[in-house]
Amino acid sequence: MDQTASKRQGYIWNPQAETMSRAELTALQTQRLQQQVTRAYERVPFYRRQLDESGVHPRDIRALDDIERLPFTVKDDFRTTYPYGLFAVPLKDVVRLHASSGTTGKSVVGGY
């Protein structure tokens, strides 16, 4: 289906984002990755520690391929920082909480 027909049928929700060039998309994704890593580093002591121990600083994230340098967060990390240790905002700013049932161990809590 050509782009004009898909626009007519409403298949494009965000034309600016969904029709940008590959270079523009890569630049946007890189910028957002940098912002997320910086936010986590500045606001979440757990992630600051993880990044420091991995020898990675937010300014080191310059391209999408740099995502490979970031340490993984695993389910056990949620449990060891239970309940709110991975939140990037104060609890008063959390709108919704989700907690797993804990059938495989301690509950995992996520805030939104």
- Going residue by residue through the chain (112 aa), what tens digit of pLDDT does each one get? 555 655 556 687 888 888 999 999 999 999 999 999 999 999 999 999 999 999 999 999 999 999 999 999 998 898 888 888 889 999 899 999 888 888 887 888 888 8
> Around Cβ 51, how many Cβ atoms within 10 Å?
21
Query: Whole-structure pTM over 0.85, yes or no?
Result: no
Task: Parse the chain into domains and list their residue ranges.
Answer: 14-72, 73-112
Those residues with Cβ within 8 angstroms of residue 84's Cβ, 6 or more apart along the chain or in another chain: 91, 109, 111
